[in-house]
Amino acid sequence: MPEDAYERAVCHVSSWRSAYKGIVPDEVLDNLSAEDIAEKFKRQLENKYNFFYCTIYDGRIIGHFNFRKSIDEDKPDAGDIWGFYLIEDFWGKGISRQMMDYVIDELKHRGYSEALLWVLENNARARRFYEKCGFVFDGTKKEINIGKPLIEVRYVKAI
C-alpha cells in the first residue's frame, strides 16, 4: 500500500546496509535514502504485474519481498523473486524461511512451475540461504553496477 512505502523503505535501507556491507561500496550504502526509495516503491505499485508483501513484527515492517513474471528471455514462464529482504535483527530466526515458503506458495498458486532470483555473487550468506530453500545456481551470470561493477548469479527452483 502506498502509505506503507516509507516504512518499507526504512526496512529496505537497513537490510541493504547489513546484507551488502563489504560487497557494495560504503559510499553507496551510506547514501541510501528512505525518502527516495519510498518514492520509487510508490511508483512500482502502479505496475499491476508486480506483487509486494511485507513481514510485520510487533507493528513494524521487518522484511519484504517482491515477485513478478520473469523478465529473463530464456525463462518467460518463471516467477521472478526480485527482492527479498529482512532486517538483520531477525536473521537466523526462521522468518526468512517462512517468507520464502510464502512466496513459493504464491508463485505456485499463480501457475508458475519454476521460481528464479538473482543474487550478488559475493553474497555468500544469501546464497547459502537460497540453496537451503532448494534453489540452485544455473550458471547464468550478469554484470550490474552498484557503485562498482558486481556480478549477479541466477538461482532457480522447480515448484
Give 116-158 as a DSSP string.
EEEEETT-HHHHHHHHHTT-EEEEEEEEEESSSEEEEEEEEEE
Predicted TM-score (pTM) above 0.85: yes
Instruction: Quick: pLDDT tens for 14-67.
Output: 999 999 999 999 999 999 999 999 988 888 777 667 788 999 999 999 999 999
**pLDDT over 70 (residue 8):** yes
Residue 49 CB neighbours (<10 A): 8
**pLDDT (0 to 100) of residue 3:** 63
Instruction: Tell me the average pLDDT across 69-87.
Output: 96
CA distance 134 to 158: 9
12: left (phi over 0), alpha (psi -120 to 50) or beta: alpha
Domain locations in the chain as residue ranges = 48-158
Instruction: Quick: pLDDT tens for 97-142.
Output: 999 999 999 999 999 999 999 999 999 999 999 999 999 999 999 9
Instruction: Quick: pLDDT tens for 139-159.
Output: 999 999 999 999 999 999 999
Comparing CA positions, the residue from 72, 61, 65 lying closest to residue 105 is 65
**pLDDT over 80 (residue 2):** no
Class of domain 48-158 as given by CATH: alpha beta
User: Is-contact 105 134, C-beta < 8 A?
Assistant: no
**pLDDT (0 to 100) of residue 1:** 52
**pLDDT (0 to 100) of residue 72:** 97
Order of all β-strands in the sheet with 60-69: 50-57, 60-69, 79-86, 114-120, 149-158, 136-145
